[in-house]
Amino acid sequence: MITKDEIESFIHDGYVKIENAFSKDFAAEARRILWKATGCDPDDPSTWTKPVIRLGYFTEKPFQVAANSPKLIEAYDQLTGAGRWIPRDSVGSFPVRFPSDEDPRDSGWHIDASFPGDDPQDYMNYRVNIFSRGRGLLMLFLFSDVGHDDAPTKMRNGSHLQAARLLELYGETGLSFIELSETVANATASAEEVVATGEAGTVYLCHPFVVHAAQPHRGKNPRFLAQPPLHIKEDLQLLREDSDYSPVEIAIRNAISSRS
């Protein structure tokens, strides 16, 4: 169970770290599947020729078990509201990062988009709106140990609040991935940076508006991390008659109210 203090921290900072969210045995089993999918040899670094290999979604047992562990199911209920989220039957996508001096060219600050624009095939024009259509959480699943040199995802503390204030101006239409990322990257430049480190089996549950970025891998062992969304059954509600707001919604409401 996430504690009251951790929920308050999630509302204020934009994320909570869940240690031992799933077992190291399942993480190891998942890595065996992922290594095969990369086409690289885990025992031969000469085959690690790219700074990052992107893999899709995986439905095998270790991934399904990881995404639906009792500890995570309870956390999903606490953060997005019981019965308001959609169980995952897969985990992904996986940007598998390898030790490299080569720039991966994907380290810009951004917010993950959640619904298509005019062209559903054009991900760069996917959009985000104040109601976070379709997305309740950004999740970071660590399937390998991730230290400070192992390309941990960077996050900006409290950036979800600034993003909410920006998105409020654009209503249902929202902003495209490109428009929003450029704007919030500048608006949150002075925010404290934190990194998603931890042992295999750790999961970071993040507000969907958290500004985050990748970084190059300067360590020794490849990093296996998945970044799936937690989908929700309906858009976030910022005016509930029963006032039964989830922490995700409370954070947005707090951000908007602080503007006035």
DSSP state of 45: G
The number of angstroms, rounded, from the C-alpha of 143 to the middle of its chain's C-alpha atoms is 14
Per-residue confidence (pLDDT) for residue 76, from 0 to 100: 98
- Collect all residues with Cβ–Cβ distance below 8 Å to 19 and sequence separation of at least 6: 198, 199, 201, 202
Q: Which of 104, 67, 97 is nearest to 231 (CA)?
A: 67
How far apart CA 259 and CA 199 sit, in angstroms, is 38
Per-residue confidence (pLDDT) for residue 102, from 0 to 100: 87
Tell me the pLDDT band of 259, cut-offs 50, 70 and 90: low
Burial of 242 (0-12, 13-18, 19+ CB in 10 A): exposed
* Mean pLDDT, residues 10-37: 98
Checking if the pLDDT of 120 tops 80, the result is no
Q: Which of 139, 152, 103 is nearest to 226 (CA)?
A: 139
Is 208:112 a contact under the CB 8 Å cutoff? yes
* Mean pLDDT, residues 182-191: 93
Query: Mean pLDDT, the chain, as a whole number?
Result: 95
Which domains occur in the chain, in start order? 4-257 (2.60.120.620)
Is 178:125 a contact under the CB 8 Å cutoff? yes
- Map tokens 């770290």 to a residue: 17
